[in-house]
């Protein structure tokens, strides 16, 4: 159930968990861009996945009666693992897939059944996990190639609802908050005026797009769905990430952190990024675009000494890139520092992993988003001569990052302190209004 309905039913209606239309293709041909063929990097990354499935066309046909994978009809834990075991026994699924999904299933089951969500049940766990296995398996059988600019796929399968249904089960809405809702409303006003907005946000989990949408969709539904995320390698190549990414609007890039993973592919990755920059300029030139970028280049990790979570430092190159892109668009543009708190619902691995197919851990917890004040670029850079470009970029980036850190600390306090949350005049829970 969406956030626009009464709080008494936090979890979605189970009837919405699966698309019953034939899914013999991941999307219709009109949605499968041909102008951007898969890069060599993407092919290598798919081969590196620990969940790689060597499925022939014949196996795909046998595995999907009436155009569906066997996981689409799952309604119980027994049925889920029965379908998984049959796939392994028949050789259509690699044996490594069984323990990976078993670990994911059991961790997710514990999270949901130990939550206080009213619709939590073993049946819900089985159906959500069945939908994830169904869409993941479908990517091995019929992989989708992301173009430089990907728009969310809603038919014949609604990948947006698919992602929301999963993330919704992990969020404790009673402890979640939105900071400075008035600033989010201001962003919508800027977009309505045909102006562009870039959010300079920290990034914590693979669930961040779902958290953003679920916390805003009741009061600001267009912000929830029309946002475009700048997405790195993992979210468009990892088999488990791809189905969730297909439900979001994306500018697809290769991050600096992974640019040199395979040296011989660096030139091709850079070429892909140039195509994406062209797509960004084109879209921003239309005006009224909302873009989310994580200038740190990846997910936050806890401090190795203290264990504290804070937004990672922003990369001046990323902040300057977005400022330049907006300037080239010839449309008014705005930079807003933003804080995201979500690490407890899907904590990332302790370190940066180059291999795809990482272990997925889940938790039921409060989440939060908050906007700092819009950056007044001229005021921030006043007193720094124009020719001192590096100093100007560093100053703007540091200002944006510090603002995000302060908002992160405030929403963290509101999430974990009932008194702060109840008495704060800057934090709200708009899904309850």
Of 119, 142, 261, 376, catalytic: 142
**Helix orientation angle between 266-286 and 316-329, rounded to the nearest 10 degrees:** 40
Residue 9: phi and psi, rounded to 5, are -125, 85
Q: What is the dihedral of CA 287, 289, 294, 295, to 10 degrees?
A: 10
How far, rounded to the nearest angstrom, does the alpha carbon of residue 371 sit from its chain's CA centroid?
Answer: 18
Q: Residue 432 burial by CB count (10 A; 0-12/13-18/19+): exposed, middle or buried?
A: exposed
- Per the CB < 8 A criterion, the answer to whether 76 and 32 are in contact is no
**Helix orientation angle between 122-141 and 97-113, rounded to the nearest 10 degrees:** 150
**Helix orientation angle between 159-168 and 208-216, rounded to the nearest 10 degrees:** 90
Q: Does residue 142 carry a catalytic annotation?
A: yes
Query: Can you read off the two tokens belonging to residue 42?
Result: 């993407």
d(CA 385, CA 345): 44
Active-site positions? 142
């Amino acid at each position: 159930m969406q956030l626009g309905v009464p709080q008494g039913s936090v979890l979605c209606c189970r009837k919405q968990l699966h698309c019953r239309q034939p899914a013999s293709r991941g999307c219709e041909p009109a949605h499968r861009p041909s102008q951007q063929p898969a890069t060599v990097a993407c092919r290598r990354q798919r081969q590196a996945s620990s969940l790689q499935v060597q499925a022939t066309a014949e196996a795909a046909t046998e595995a999907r009666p009436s155009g569906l994978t066997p996981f689409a009809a799952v309604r119980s834990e027994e049925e889920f693992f029965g379908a998984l075991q049959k796939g392994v026994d028949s050789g259509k699924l690699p044996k490594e897939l069984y323990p990976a999904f078993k670990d994911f299933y059991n961790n997710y089951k514990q999270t949901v059944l130990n939550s206080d969500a009213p619709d939590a049940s073993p049946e819900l766990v089985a159906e959500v996990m069945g939908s994830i296995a169904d869409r993941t398996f479908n990517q091995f059988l019929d992989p989708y190639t992301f173009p430089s600019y990907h728009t969310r796929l809603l038919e014949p399968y609604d990948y947006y609802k698919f992602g929301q249904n999963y993330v919704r089960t992990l969020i404790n809405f009673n402890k979640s908050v939105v900071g400075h809702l008035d600033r989010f409303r201001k962003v919508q006003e800027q977009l309505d005026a045909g102006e562009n907005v870039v959010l300079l946000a920290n990034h914590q989990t693979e669930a961040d797009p779902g958290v953003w949408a679920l916390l805003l969709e009741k009061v600001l539904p267009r912000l929830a769905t029309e946002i475009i995320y700048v997405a790195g390698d993992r979210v468009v190549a990892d088999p488990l990430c791809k189905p969730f990414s297909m439900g979001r609007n994306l500018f697809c890039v290769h991050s600096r952190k992974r640019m040199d993973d395979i040296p011989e592919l660096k030139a091709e990755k850079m070429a892909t990024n140039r195509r994406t920059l062209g797509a960004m300029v084109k879209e921003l030139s239309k005006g009224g675009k909302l873009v989310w970028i994580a200038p740190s280049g990846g997910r936050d990790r806890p401090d190795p000494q203290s264990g504290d979570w804070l937004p990672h430092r922003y990369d001046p190159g990323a902040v300057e890139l977005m400022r330049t892109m907006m300037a080239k668009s010839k449309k008014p543009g705005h930079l807003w520092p933003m804080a995201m708190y979500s690490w407890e619902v899907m904590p990332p691995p302790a370190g940066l992993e180059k291999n795809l197919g990482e272990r997925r851990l889940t938790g039921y917890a409060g989440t939060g988003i908050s906007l700092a004040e819009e950056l007044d670029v001229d005021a921030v850079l006043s007193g720094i001569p124009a020719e001192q470009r590096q100093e100007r970029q560093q100053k703007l980036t540091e200002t944006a990052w510090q603002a995000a850190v302060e908002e992160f600390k405030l929403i963290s306090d509101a999430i974990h302190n009932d008194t702060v949350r109840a008495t704060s005049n800057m934090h709200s829970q708009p899904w309850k209004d």
